[in-house]
Structure formats: structure tokens, C-alpha cells
Structure 1
Amino acid sequence: MNTTAHSTEAAPGRIVLLTTSHRVAPGLLSWPAWQALHAADRVLCADGAHPQLPYLREAGVTVDEAAPTAEELVAACAGGRTVVVVATGEGEPALTDGLARLAGSGRVSMPQLELLPASYDLPGARLLDLVQVMDRIRAECPWSSRQTHRGLAKYAIEEAYELVESIEDGDREELREELGDVLLQVVFHARIAEEDAEEPFSIDDVAGGIVTKLIHRHPHVFGDESATTPEEVKEHWLRTKAAEKRRASVTDGIPLGQPALALAAKLASRVRTAGLDVPLPQREDIGYTLLALATEAESRGTDPEAALRAAARTYRDAIRRTEGV
């Protein structure tokens, strides 16, 4: 009896908490996870509808649908046995809290405890959550369900400006939030586009389109061409873009609704890149003076819109100091 008791004490067993990601297809588990499942003395799962169970059973793993207490789980490990617990979506907080209390009590010899992630989120996996949340909001929210591309357009502009402001302020937390707000606009518009009766498209179509474009416009990365400087990269980009768009004029594709300084700089950039000799119109008007300044700034590699905005912020700060704010 003493020998048996000593053996049990020396080999209290092992508890493996197996976690999976709902963003990865069921059944796609890591090799260590499959090894642990096949080698376990018992495999338990509290959720009989857990999406992994059909795949585990198909692979020959016997799974008992049970939700043991911490004490029951420790007892099941007696004699050096290994018990794998397939965690539910919540991660079994009640069980892990109970095991922590039991370990802290000093009343029992605790088994080895191991957290084993069986599947991992790939980079970008949380984007799937955003798509699902947007689907539900579009279906159930009285405001969101009535929105249109045209009605949302102003918010895209507002969010873009707020993003720029967070960049200029150097606020990392604000930058993260504003990037999320801009991303929401993309997902929202893509969700609305799915409902178009004549030309529907989805967020996957949007992502697929930009992936194709990026690969095509980076032949130095995905193809046989080479580029060692930013200038050569830009040359590749403009050449492939011109072949794609087949534009009649270098001004095609420039949005006239953008801020005026940015518009002037973009026109000047297209002219310079194309090697055209287009003299600036000369008139005694402040608009043409600003056009000349924007063109000069672009030729020096300066963004006139950003430069004027920085100067305006400095002016704002001076006004506030004068006001004693």
C-alpha cells in the first residue's frame, strides 16, 4: 500500500488544455496537438457541439462529453494518467480558476498543467471578425442597414483627414484607432456592394483586386525585373499602371475633388514624370500664384498640402498662445 501511494504521489499525471481558433477551419490542428490527443488516456470536452469533435472522432480519438470540476479532473489524472481537455470558445475560465485555487491550497498533489494551442491565427485573421461583425450590423442595425455608398462618402473623407492628423500628431494610440476607422469604411462599402442587383462584389473581390494589382505593379518583387532604388520602383509602377489604364492624357485618373494644393502638385508631378514641357498659365490672380508655388514645391520633392497644413498648425498654436489657451 505504501509503495502504491508513493507511486501515485510521484506520478500525479498531466492535464493538457487544448485551445483552438475559430478562425481556422476545424480539423486543421498542429502536429503536437494530434500527438497529445492520440496519446491521452482521456479526452474531454464540455461542448457536445464543438466544431472540432467530428474531426477528432473521424481521426480515431475518443472524446467524452463532460465538464469536470477541478477536483474531478485532478482525480482523473491519478496514477500518471494524461487528460486532454478540448477547450470551448470561452477557454474554460471556471476550470482554470478552480485548478489555480486547488494548486494554491496545498491540499493535493497537482498534475502537470500545460496549455497547448492546437491552431493559431494567421496574420490578418481578425479581419474575418470584422467582416462577420459588419454582416450582422448591416442586417440588424436600423441605421447601418439603410446606408448607401453616396451617404457614407463624407465619412470616408472625414476619417482620412483624422488619420492624417493622428500621423502628424505622432499619437500612436490615435493612429491605431483611426486606421481602424478607415478600414471600417472599406468593409462597410464592400458589404453594401454585395447587395447590388446588377454588379455585386464582396470584400473578397476588393482584396483580390488589390492583391492582383500589387503583384502586377511589383515585377521587381514577384517577377524577373529588378529595382534597387525608390526611383526605379516608381518607374516600374508608373509603366505598369499606364499599360493597365491605357489613358489618353496624363491628367486622366486625377480626382478633381481633392484639396486644391494637392491637385496642383499631382498635375505637376504627372507633367514632370511624362517629360512634358507645359508652361504655367500666367495671370494676376492669387490662384495662379498658389499654382506656381505648389508646382515649385512638387519639383523640390515637397508636398505643398502637408507643408501648408504644418504651417497652419503652427499659426493655430500662435493664436492659442495669444488667447492664453
Structure 2
Amino acid sequence: MTDHASTPPAPAAPAPAGPTGRIVLLTTSHRVAPGVLSWPAWQLLHAADRVLCADPGHPQLPYLREAGVTVAHESPDAHALVEACAGGRTVVVLPDGEGDRRLTDGLARLAGSGRVAMPALELLPGSYDLPGARLLDLVQVMDRVRRECPWTSRQTHRDLAPYAIEEAYELVEAIEAVEDVEDGNRSEALREELGDVLLQVVFHARIAEERADPDEAFSVDDVAATLVEKLVRRHPHVFGDAEASTPQEVKALWREAKAAEKRRESVTDGVPLAQPALALAAQLAGRVRTGAVAVEPPRGEGVGYELLALAVRAEAAGTDPETALRAAARAYRDTIRAAEGVEA
């Protein structure tokens, strides 16, 4: 007896009537100038049977038209796109944002159904982000926040100065906490603190763009350009004909280049007096030593002169007294917490 209630077997997938062709999703980076595409991308665009783009304002379109590539402003669903590839045709789709997800999900469902002879599905990056490309996103986000945030839009260089000091100290703390490079939590903290310091640079540069005097205004690009020029200038052993095979020789070249740039009258010029006292004392001692100035530190009564002498000794021994004291203070803190019965 035939069981009429049983589920009939699913029909076998139809055999393809011919070549199924291919669908290529051509992606581009918004961080790369429109029209700058890889050679494989241009080859594909010129050889494709159809090029589709649902967004009539897509930034690549003017450059494709100029290059003789015909683009149809269509947003086909997955079924229509598969049919367009029948007979071995190649169809290129330029992404248009939200519609991409619907299209790729539809293609995935068709492929998983086993009922459709699917064309080959390919993803071809037409342009790639270079190292540092995300900095462009940072500049754009900072620009918008500066314009639209009630707090950010009112800040000045002087307002932000305390944050620069605070973030610098937090970065130092994160650096000193990275005892094991395999510790993901500490590495994550270091990455975050580096970002906070970078924010200060981008924020100040954004404020500087608003200066009324165009000769005084500058942008983050100007900041980067100045830094690049300085790095090239102070590394003649890398970018020029000078030779330096040891860290000491590199430092000597750096000092020579810096002295020529600044034309300073004293070895103490450029030493920030607002820095922590131990660091200040050590930096002054370093300037005296490297500048070959025969000046002994002053002697006097009181703990200040004792600390000065210790800082000079530490610098001469190659020890950063600020770091050394901070490490000792952390050990002192741990001892106190242990005495209190508090976990470190």
C-alpha cells in the first residue's frame, strides 16, 4: 500500500543548460581616491558583459565613464543576477552600501538550496588601504565632532593642555604595565592609551585650522609634513650619506642636526621647565654631559639638592630617575596594600 502521507522526494537540481558564468563584487576603499583602481579591476571592468551599480552617485562612476566602461544603474535581486550570468556571462556589481547585504544573503540562500546552478561568485578588491589609512577616518570623525558636539566645539588649546599631560602619564603607565607582550589585556590598554594621545594631536590640529590669520592656521597634514621633514633631516644615516652603526653615533648625529636647526645659545634651551622635577634634573644633567659643558651641579642644604645630586648620578649611569622612582613607588604601594590585606 502506498503511503500517501509520506513526503515526496525533493526534485533533483536541474542540470545547467550551459556555462553558468560568474558574478564579481568589485569593492573599493573610500580612503583611496576614486578612479585609482588596481590593474586587475580595470581589466575586469573592460572585459565584463555587464557592470551594475544601484547608486547613481557612486564616486567611481565618473571615472568609469571616462574610461569607456558602461554602467547600468540597476539593483537586481539574487535570482535576476544569476539569470544575467546565463551562457557564461560575467557580471560585475559595484557595492552600494545596505543593498550589498541583501544581495549577498540572497545569493547565499540560492547557493544553499541546491536547486539553482550557481555562477562562480568572486570578491575582487579594486583598491586597498595603505598603512595609516584609518588616520583619514580619524580626521573626518574629529572634524564632525568639532562641528557638532557642544563641548568639543568650545575647547581651546589652553583648555586641552591638562588632558595632554594626563594622557601622557596614562600612556607611560600602560607601557610600564606591559611586562609580557602575550598579555592581551595589557596590550589592549596600551593601544587605547596610544589612541588617547593621538586624539590630543588631532584635536589641537583641528582647532588650529580655525585661526583667523591664514598664516597662523595649520592642519593635521601640516603637522605630519613638519614631522616627516624633521625625521628625514635628523636621520642622515638613513636618508642621506652619513654613517652611523651604533646608537651612540645616531644620537650624535641627532644632536648635530638639532643644534643646526635650533641655533640655540645654551644647552639648556628647549628644556621644558614644567616637566616633573626629577626628569627636569636628569635632562639638564644630560645636556651638560653631551654638550661637554664643565658645570657641576650646585650644592646646598636640603632634600632638593640631595635629589638633584641623585638625579645627576642616575643620568650619568644611564638610568632614568623618574622611571626608577616610579618603580620603587609602585613597590611601596604594593607593600602598603599587602600590609592592609588588600590584593595587589
Structure 1 runs not aligned, ≥5 long: none
The one-letter code matched in structure 2 to 1:8 is: A
Q: In 2, Cα distance between the equivalents of 1:173 and 1:29?
A: 34
Residue from 13, 20, 31 that aligns with 1:12: 20
Q: In 1, Cα distance between the equivalents of 2:242 and 2:169?
A: 36
The reply on whether 1:315 has 2:332 as its aligned counterpart is yes
Q: In 1, Cα distance between the equivalents of 2:243 and 2:95?
A: 49
Instruction: Write out aligned runs for 1:99-138 (5 A).
Output: 99-138=107-146
Change (3 A) 1:136 1:279: same
Change (3 A) 1:7 1:98: closer
User: What is residue 7 of structure 2 aligned with on the other side?
Assistant: none
TM-fit CA distance, 1:181 = 0.6
User: What is residue 4 of structure 2 aligned with on the other side?
Assistant: none
Instruction: Write out aligned runs for 1:34-45 (5 A).
Output: 34-45=42-53
Q: 1:19–1:91: 8 Å Cα contact kept in structure 2?
A: no
The reply on whether 1:299 has 2:316 as its aligned counterpart is yes
The one-letter code matched in structure 2 to 1:43 is: V
Query: So what's the TM-score if we normalise by structure 2?
Result: 0.91
Q: 1:12–1:111: 8 Å Cα contact kept in structure 2?
A: yes
1:8 partner SS:
coil
TM-fit CA distance, 1:6 = 6.0
TM-fit CA distance, 1:189 = 0.3
2:26 partner SS:
strand
Q: Deviations over 1:68-102 (max 9, x none)?
A: 11111111111111100011245811111111111
TM-fit CA distance, 1:277 = 1.6
Q: 2:32–2:129: 8 Å Cα contact kept in structure 1?
A: yes
Q: 1:194–1:201: 8 Å Cα contact kept in structure 2?
A: yes
Residue from 289, 314, 337 that aligns with 1:272: 289
TM-fit CA distance, 1:258 = 0.2
Instruction: Write out aligned runs for 1:194-205 (5 A).
Output: 194-198=209-213, 199-205=216-222
Residue from 165, 173, 180 that aligns with 1:165: 173
Structure 2 runs not aligned, ≥5 long: 1-13, 179-185
The one-letter code matched in structure 2 to 1:163 is: L
Structure number having the greater helix percentage: 1
Query: So what's the TM-score if we normalise by structure 1?
Result: 0.96
Q: In 2, Cα distance between the equivalents of 1:89 and 1:277?
A: 68
User: What is residue 276 of structure 2 aligned with on the other side?
Assistant: 259
1:65 partner SS:
coil
- What is the aligned-residue RMSD (CA, Å)? 1.2
After TM superposition, the structure 1 stretch with the greater mean CA deviation from structure 2, 195-204 or 83-92, is 83-92
User: What is residue 143 of structure 1 aligned with on the other side?
Assistant: 151
Aligned length: 320
| Identity between Structure 1 and Structure 2 (%) | 74
User: What is residue 236 of structure 2 aligned with on the other side?
Assistant: 219
